[in-house]
Structure 1
Amino acid sequence: MADSSSSLASPISPPDTSRSLKQVIWLALPIMAGMASQSLMNIVDALFVGQLGEMSLAAVGVGAYLNFMATALIMGISSSVQAMVARRRGQGRLDALAAPLGKGLLLSLVVGLSLTLLFWLLAPTLVAMMLSDPESQRIAGEYLQIRVLGISLVAANFAYRGYWNGRGRSLIYLRTLIIYHSLNVLLTWLLVFGHWGLPALGVAGAAWGTTLALLFGTLLYSAQTVRPALKQGLLNRGNAGGSLVDLLRLAVPHSLQQFFFAMGIATLFWIIAQIGLREVAIAHVLVNLALFLILPAVGIGMASTTLVSQSLGAGRPEQARRFGWQVVGLAMVLLGTFALPMLLVPEWVLGFFLHTPEAVAMGVTPLRMTSVAVVLDAVGIVLAQALLGAGANRTVLKVSISLQWGLLLPLAWLLGPGLGGSLTAVWSVQLLFRCLNSAVFATIWQRGHWQHIKV
């Protein structure tokens, strides 16, 4: 489970351009597979909860994205730990590789527990702002309060993921994720429906299944990581390998970007809820499918985070720039391939989650739009991740917030409830948003100002 000492005997030189795609693919495949496990887990949850009815599915959708809003505030821990570990590796500072992890775990505990208390208390109010039906409010509120109990666990897992991916050992991340996600599916099946003599908890069972699986995942990560990390400065209290301030400087902008993105999704659900409860259930399915579709771009982008940071640490900025463009092309091809079923046979795909002909028919056109939008978004996803590897976290924050809150959400409200439009009208705004998002990140990447940022 741990690395042998020989694997840490010398720094890893950044790969030559001719080998860059191979490096990206081999590093990205475990990340992509691990994230596929995450999205498949969410899809399986939707399959289970969907059998309880459209109200339960809509309530879980709202609760899940409010929970996403809470956990988004600690997502920057992963990318910041990964960027710092990869930069130290490129510099050959192997005795300080785990120092960012130690500081990341400290942040996970302090910030995670604070967020748990805050969102547990605010859960009824937040849910009431999103849903008008009392029963759906009750279901969503209970689901959210259970899920936020695991925020510190999510944060710790983010820190571990950043450490292993920064070292180029993404297979550790994959192995751990698959194990505890498999447990999650089993626990959810048992607790939602009451199998093997356990009580049938319904929607609450899905929340408890996820939270208990997260606890197991954190313990599993710790068992694989603590021993080798102790030899690499895990408990270092000084600034070797990067100070806590350095970690916060990288983590806060990315966490804020993810928070505003998550809050944007929650706001989008509020907008859709003004149209109808059925539309909320359909949107929950569409978002989960979209998250599954973008996995190749996110996985490859996370791989480029490591390679870009290593290249900059070794003083090769032009090589880092070439990595970004090569990875974009690969991501677009993969996303286009994966999106074909949603584009060509949307009724068949939606039929797994929605159990009335009216709901399926309503979701066909938005799903087709989703399949096109995610391919366009490949450029933005990959280059945003690469910019995080370069330390340009503030730039990513500014672009993401301005486009989402200045364009996507106002137009979605206007074309939806504002003008009496449908779910399709709201979803059409996604196409414009994805195009502009990718164009802006492509321009930033090509200009190359990120090459001079110190991490």
Structure 2
Amino acid sequence: MLSNNIKNNFSLAWPLAINAVLMQSMLMIDTLLVAPLGEHALAAMGIATTIMAFMLGIQHALSNGTQLILSRAQGSGQQPAICIAFWAGLGINLAAALLFWCTISVFGQQLVALVSDNPDLQLQAHAYLATIKYILIAASITQVLSAFFNARGNTRIPLKGFVLELPVNVIISYGLINGLGVIPALGLQGAAWGSLVAIGFRLLFLAHMLYQSGNLGRNAPGARRIMPHVMRHLQEIAPIAANFIILSVGMTIYQLIYAQLSIYDYVAITLVFPWIRIGTQFITAWAQAAAITISQALGSGDTGQLGYFIRECTRAALLASLFIALAFYLLSQSMQLIYPAIEPATLTALASIAPLYIFLPIVRTYNTLCGHILRSIGESLQVLRIHFVTQWLISIPACAILVIGFEASIFWAFAMIPAEELLKALPLSRRLRRNASSLATGAAIPSVQTPTRRP
């Protein structure tokens, strides 16, 4: 029998997981819709979405930090604390979105030129980027609205918003790309407008649900009242955004290093990466749900059972990781069926790294859970340091030396990713055990700032 803690965590996690998978599938759908326009259109969209994905990822990391603060405020039961956390988070996310929007507006051509030196691709990608950049503004609001509902335990509401957005995007994008009745065919620009209109629908839905949820909007604090809280809010969530940046840029550097391998080895790694991302979505959602529960408990001051809850969550996550590893094993045995046209040399490369990506979910699951739990109890800066040291000072240099210096095989090159996870496991585990013991004994954690209850 599953305990109530695990059942509650699962009820929070499954909408988060489905939402993440749908977000991954959105790019695939856009690719299918644009594919008939030819390789140049696909490449231009790929360049623009690479730039956008990096900026949206930073905004998402900021909103995840806001989600933890909102969860603590929710646990405290204090409406003013919830209100201040929401508006502070929204202000920070909007400021980041405006900064990125201005960056694209001013330096868009230079950013595209960094990715491609083809004039035709640069022209199409910049035109696409000029429209799609407005998504940054809408996304900054939808992300904080989603964080608000997730922090309250209503993870199904953001999922419903995305389920609404998906068909709207497909229908409008298809009509605008190919033309429909009196609507002229806009080609690649049609895909950009379709995405923009679709996220607008999701924004309206979430705003409507926020209005129905209570008096948050009517209790919006004034600028003078909220400004002292913004810097404290930013100070707590900035390490989470920095963590995303170093991991994202680090993965890009890995890919640049892998590009020095043979074409067959590089294609093999390129084929595996999307499956790894999709396969770990539930674990990430599980970890986010655990962080929400822990943050709410910290806000309420009810921390007596958190040590037991963390142990239960860890056992359940590691069990789930075994099923993911099994799924990756089945994937390794089905590569020729999934990709019948690939060369035998690529299949050989895939077979050589199969033990590594089959093992990867087990250790990555533990690290993901540790990282999210530690952030929820105010250890974001420490998690950032661990990621920076293990990736940037050890794993990436070792990978570069092996591939560029010693011309190592694909096995040893790809092995640096699970090796990095193994290096992280020990320090993350130590910090988690230390803090879990403090929570179990009821000791306060200095790095956590919880709302002060009024007498």
- TM-score bucket of the superposed structures, by smaller chain: 0.7 to 0.9
- CA 1:131–1:388 in structure 2 vs 1: closer, same or farther (change >3 Å)? same
CA contact (8 A) 1:83 1:391 kept: no
Partner of 1:411: 398
Taking only the aligned residue pairs, the percentage that are identical comes to: 19
**Counterpart code for 1:91:** S
Partner of 1:453: 447
CA contact (8 A) 2:145 2:206 kept: yes
Q: Distance in 2 between matches of 1:360 and 1:373?
A: 20
CA contact (8 A) 2:257 2:399 kept: yes
- Greater Cα offset, 51-60 or 395-404: 51-60
Partner of 1:80: 65
The counterpart of 1:380, out of the listed 345, 367, 373, is 367
With normalisation by structure 1, the TM-score equals 0.81
Q: Cα offset for 1:167?
A: 0.7
Q: Distance in 2 between matches of 1:242 and 1:307?
A: 27
CA contact (8 A) 1:81 1:166 kept: no
Partner of 1:10: none
CA contact (8 A) 1:111 1:152 kept: no
Cα deviation, 1:376-435, whole Å, max 9, x if unaligned, reads 201111121122222222122222222222233223333334444565543221111122
Partner of 1:117: 102
- CA 1:57–1:351 in structure 2 vs 1: closer, same or farther (change >3 Å)? farther
Q: Cα offset for 1:222?
A: 1.3
The counterpart of 1:390, out of the listed 377, 384, 388, is 377
CA contact (8 A) 1:75 1:254 kept: no
The counterpart of 1:103, out of the listed 88, 95, 118, is 88
Q: Distance in 2 between matches of 1:424 and 1:211?
A: 42
Q: Distance in 2 between matches of 1:276 and 1:60?
A: 26
Partner of 1:155: 140
CA contact (8 A) 1:84 1:242 kept: no
Partner of 2:386: 399
- Greater Cα offset, 145-154 or 204-213: 204-213
SS at match of 1:345: helix
- CA 1:309–1:61 in structure 2 vs 1: closer, same or farther (change >3 Å)? same
Q: Cα offset for 1:170?
A: 0.9
Cα deviation, 1:75-133, whole Å, max 9, x if unaligned, reads 33322322222212222213542332222222222220111221454444445444566
Mapping of residues 265-414 of structure 1, within 5 Å? 265-275=251-261, 283=269, 285-346=271-332, 348=334, 356-357=342-343, 361=347, 362-363=349-350, 365-366=352-353, 369-414=356-401
CA contact (8 A) 1:347 1:360 kept: no
With normalisation by structure 2, the TM-score equals 0.81
Q: Cα offset for 1:301?
A: 1.0
Cα deviation, 1:196-245, whole Å, max 9, x if unaligned, reads 4663735x655554344323222221121135353476511365899212
- CA 1:273–1:70 in structure 2 vs 1: closer, same or farther (change >3 Å)? farther
Partner of 2:431: 444
CA contact (8 A) 1:96 1:233 kept: no
Total equivalences in the alignment: 437
Cα deviation, 1:134-164, whole Å, max 9, x if unaligned, reads 6666666555555443222222222112111
Q: Distance in 1 between matches of 2:82 and 2:329?
A: 44
Q: Tell me, which stretches of 5 or more residues in structure 2 are unaligned?
A: 440-444, 450-455
Q: Distance in 2 between matches of 1:157 and 1:248?
A: 19
Partner of 2:18: 33
CA contact (8 A) 2:63 2:93 kept: no
Partner of 2:442: none
**Counterpart code for 1:406:** L
SS at match of 2:386: helix
CA contact (8 A) 2:73 2:85 kept: no
- CA 1:132–1:196 in structure 2 vs 1: closer, same or farther (change >3 Å)? same
CA contact (8 A) 1:378 1:438 kept: no
Please provide the CA RMSD for this pair: 3.6
CA contact (8 A) 1:76 1:253 kept: no
The counterpart of 2:413, out of the listed 426, 441, 444, is 426
CA contact (8 A) 1:311 1:319 kept: no
- CA 1:285–1:384 in structure 2 vs 1: closer, same or farther (change >3 Å)? same
Q: Distance in 1 between matches of 2:77 and 2:278?
A: 36
